[in-house]
Amino acid sequence: MALEKEKRQQTEKEIDYEKVVQSSSFKQFMQDKKKFIIPWTIFFLVFYFLLPILTSYTTFLNTPAIGDISWVWLFAFAQFVMTWVLCIVYVKKANSFDKQADEILEKMQEGGDDK
């Protein structure tokens, strides 16, 4: 265990992380993540806060939508659906992030072995 750790530390020392961060594949990776996360975060925050804002300052959600059920309930349930859908979408997307990360790690290891 201790030996393994030492060995790992040795290989770590040989890796130039600054170079990894500057590499195009890492930059692309971070860019792709950002491109997914930022817009969806803005979307779900707006969607989420819109409900209390609308119920606090307006009353138009109180009108019936389907039968006796008013818009405010539909909006509330939509929050659940949104959370579930975004979770699934992210988990799907993250598999491709994993692939990119693995490629970066592989390249990094190769770079480390080249002495």
Rule CB under 8 A: which residues touch other proteins? 8, 12, 15, 17-18, 20-21, 26, 29-30, 33, 37, 40-41, 44-45, 48-49, 51-53, 55-57, 61-62, 67-68, 70, 72-73, 76, 79-80, 82-84, 86-88, 90-91, 94, 98, 101-102, 104-105, 108
Give the single-character DSSP code of 50.
Answer: H
Closer to other proteins by CB, 107 or 115: give it. Answer: 107
Closer to other proteins by CB, 57 or 114: give it. Answer: 57
For residue 64, what are the β-bridge partners?
A: 70
- Cβ-contact 45, 53 below 8 angstroms: no
Q: How far is the CB of 25 from other proteins (least distance, A)?
A: 11
Q: How far is the CB of 88 from other proteins (least distance, A)?
A: 7
In angstroms, what is the C-alpha Rg of the chain?
23
Q: Locate tokens 């109180």: which residue?
A: 62
Stated length of the chain: 115
Q: How far is the CB of 113 from other proteins (least distance, A)?
A: 14
Within 15-70, where are the H helices?
17-22, 24-57
Closer to other proteins by CB, 6 or 55: give it. Answer: 55
- Cβ-contact 62, 70 below 8 angstroms: yes
